[in-house]
Amino acid sequence: MAEGSKKVVVIGGGTGGYVAALRAAQLGASVVLVEKNALGGTCLNRGCIPTKVLLHTAELASAVREGESVGLFVKGARVDWKVLMQHKAEIVARLVEGVGFLLGANSVEVVRGNAVFRSPGEIVVAQEDGAVRSLSADAFIVATGSVPALPPVPGFDLPGILTSDGALELDALPKSILLVGGGVIGVEFASVFSALGVKVTVVEMLPEILPNMDAELVGYLRQILEARGIRILTSATVKAVRLTEDGYATVVATDAEEEIATEKVFVCTGRRPFTQGLGLEEIGVRTERGRVAVDGQMRTSVPGIYAVGDCASPIMLAHVASAEGEVAAEVIMGRKAAMDYRCVPSGVYTAPELAGVGSTEAELAKSGRPFIVGRFPMNSNAKALIAGMPDGMVKVLADKETGEILGMHVLGPRATDLIVEGTLAMKSELTVDEIVATIHAHPTLGETVKEASLDVLSRALHLPPKE
């Protein structure tokens, strides 16, 4: 069968699904995409994008409050939550429309409805208009994403308890909020709510927030957040939540139990793969703890069926889902492709931002591999000082013998942009010598990456000599 004659059906129009559909269409496939809700999935409609809209406004609000120190005086500045919500809706609508336009421009047919496998080669779709449509294909890509995970805690099912799907639809800002979970979702929302004047408490079961990020920089970020009035309780367990006249009372156990009263409670303890109701088990697709089992080419246990994104991926990030979607499409269309999870960047859009790629210092220490650490503080960078964002640092981890970059971690302004250089360096197996030999524009935040790399070699030009 020729490449261009293949029929591909994608189930799910999120960042993994629509990218898979676009790539398959580029390679000549006849593509149908089935989506029961809005195109763009969780990331575009209820996650990454709308959250960043709020974070941007929160950052502007903070800059205005602190503006007098740089000569900016603003009278009567305030955040109008309803206007902000409208702005968020407009951004999301524009991007959703853009996804639809791209799919149409690539001749991808979009079918609205719920899909269920009838056999490995056929699905039936219960469409929005009540009709039932059968679709057969040479290959299917399952990209059904994830849903919020709610732990079995008494009270988490009370009316008004927020999850990541509902927190972006608040009618008004609460006066106080308790966030259950100190992962990326919890810490980002803590940063947003605090900057907008909400009294924030974060409860995390593990010994530290953001457990998958570099511990040194996480500790630094925690100090910054706590200095802004965010209360962070770690090694803490939520025992129960009950309704009160003014909101909720949450029983939290650390060394002792206390009851914390807040207007709102937001459970942000992560997400779980969504695979229910697809008929995967009935046709023999293997799952592992609710996640579709796949190989490095995104193939499931059933020939012709692939899975990408949160429903299958070991790393539940939008950019990983997109990469997996491209791999699946290319494999289906006869190309050589496979996922490489060694160099996946992670970002936390707090203020300041936190980002990382590759190994952390703790991981390298545990592995026994000899390594060297280079650091450069943001308060020694001209652009960071000009922007009034001196908190944070760049941290580069390199092999002690070869100088190969093993990890890069950034806390500071535009950390999620700076991490691209570290990701490219790791993917290309570059050494710190090659970063150092690259001319970085001045004045830029990117100079911190070069200086941290110089520090690996004990040659940092804008730091005092090491003892």
What digits encode the pLDDT tens for the residues 45-71? 988 999 999 999 999 999 998 888 889
Q: Are residues 386 and 264 in the same domain?
A: no
462 part of a folded domain: no
- Cα dihedral across residues 409, 411, 416, 422: positive or negative: negative
pLDDT, residue 441, reads 98
pTM here?
0.94
Residue 1: what pLDDT? Answer: 37
Verify whether residue 56 is a known catalytic residue.
no
Distance CA 421, CA 322 (A): 20
User: Is 265 found in the same domain as 276?
Assistant: no
The answer on 15 and 121 residing in a single domain is yes
**Any domain includes 465:** no
Q: Report the relative pairing of strands 30-35 and 109-119 from DSSP bridges.
A: parallel
Q: What is the pLDDT of residues 139-161, one digit of tens each?
A: 999 999 999 888 999 999 999 99
Q: What are 168-206's pLDDT values in tens digits?
A: 888 899 999 999 999 999 999 999 999 999 999 999 999
Q: List, in order, residues 6 or more apart from 38 with CB less than 8 Å away.
A: 13, 44, 45, 96
Model confidence at 315, pLDDT cuts 50, 70, 90, reads very high
* Separation of alpha carbons 65 and 57, rounded Å: 12
Distance from C-alpha of 115 to C-alpha of 251, rounded to nearest angstrom: 41
Q: How confident is the model at residue 277 (pLDDT cuts 50, 70, 90)?
A: very high
**Rounded Cα gap, residues 18 and 13, in angstroms:** 5
Tell me, yes or no, whether 301 and 224 share the same domain. Answer: no
Residue-level pLDDT at 206: 97
> Which residue ranges are tagged as binding site for NAD(+)?
181-188, 204, 270
Mean pLDDT value across the chain = 95
Q: Are strands 371-377 and 393-399 parallel, antiparallel or unpaired?
A: antiparallel
Residue 159 lies in a domain: no
How does residue 421 score in pLDDT terms, banded at 50, 70 and 90? very high
Give 118-149 as a DSSP string: EETTEEEEEETTS-EEEEE-SEEEE---EEE-
359: Cβ–Cβ under 8 A, 6 or more apart, which residues?
A: 367, 397, 406, 407
Q: Which residues are annotated as part of the binding site for FAD? A: 52, 144-146, 310, 316-319
Q: Which two tokens stand for residue 374?
A: 């280079």
pLDDT at 166: 77
Residue 76 has pLDDT above 90, yes or no: no
Instruction: Give how far Cα 142 sits from Cα of 63, 196, 289, Å.
Output: 43, 39, 17
Residues at the annotated binding site? Answer: 52, 144-146, 181-188, 204, 270, 310, 316-319
Residue 441 lies in a domain: yes
Domain boundary (247, 269, 291) is at: 269
Scanning 66-183, the segments in alpha helix (DSSP H) are 81-105
Q: In one letter, which amino acid is 330?
A: E
The tally of domains found in the chain comes to 3
Q: Give SS3 for 364.
A: helix
Question: pLDDT band for position 3 (50/70/90)?
Answer: very low
Q: What is the pLDDT of residue 393?
A: 98
Query: Do both 371 and 298 map to the same domain?
Result: no
Cα–Cα distance for residue pair 341/362, rounded to 1 Å: 19
What domain range is 129 assigned to?
A: 7-148+272-333
pLDDT at 130: 86
pLDDT above 50: residue 238: yes
Residue 4 pLDDT greater than 70, yes or no: no
Question: What does the pLDDT read at residue 39?
Answer: 96
pLDDT digits (tens, 9 = 90+) for 371-401: 999 999 999 999 999 999 999 999 999 999 9
Do both 136 and 26 map to the same domain?
yes
Q: In 3D, which of 171, 213, 182 has the Cα closest to residue 82?
A: 171
Q: How confident is the model at residue 270 (pLDDT cuts 50, 70, 90)?
A: confident
Last residue of a domain, one of 223, 243, 269: 269
Per-residue confidence band for 106, with pLDDT thresholds at 50, 70 and 90: very high
Both 144 and 279 in a single domain?
A: yes
Q: pLDDT confidence of 222, banded at 50, 70, 90? A: very high
Taking residues 297-321, what's their average pLDDT? 97
CB-based burial label for 157 (10 Å; 0-12, 13-18, 19+): exposed
Among residues 269, 288, 314, which one ends one of the domains? Answer: 269
Say if residue 167's pLDDT is above 90: no
Q: How far apart are CA 246 and CA 263, in angstroms?
A: 6
Amino acid in position 348: V
Same structural domain, 261 and 278: no
Query: What are the two backbone dihedrals, phi and then psi, of residue 150, each rounded to the nearest 5 degrees?
Result: -110, 115
Which class for 236: exposed (0-12), middle (13-18), buried (19 or more C-beta within 10 A)?
buried
pLDDT of 165 over the 90 cut: no
Which residues share a beta bridge with 232?
202
Q: What is the CATH number of the domain that holds 433?
A: 3.30.390.30
Q: Which residue in the list 56, 87, 440, 442 is annotated as catalytic?
A: 442
In angstroms, the CA 197 to CA 177 distance is 11
Q: What percent of the chain has a predicted confidence (pLDDT) above 90?
A: 91
* Of the candidates 368, 393, 392, 374, the residue with the CA atom closest to the CA atom of residue 431: 374
Q: Are residues 195 and 214 in the same domain?
A: yes
User: Could you give the 3-state DSSP secondary structure of residue 181?
Assistant: coil
Model confidence at 260: pLDDT above 60? yes
Are 289 and 142 found together in one domain? yes
State residue 2's pLDDT score: 42
Q: What is the mean pLDDT of residues 112-118?
A: 96
Residue 228: predicted pLDDT: 95
Within this chain, do residues 352 and 436 fall inside the same structural domain, yes or no? yes
Distance, in Å, from the CA atom of 35 to the CA atom of 21, rounded to the nearest integer, reads 12
Is 426 a residue whose pLDDT tops 80? yes
Residue 105 CB-density burial (10 A; 0-12 exposed, 13-18 middle, 19+ buried): exposed
Q: Is residue 126 part of a domain?
A: yes
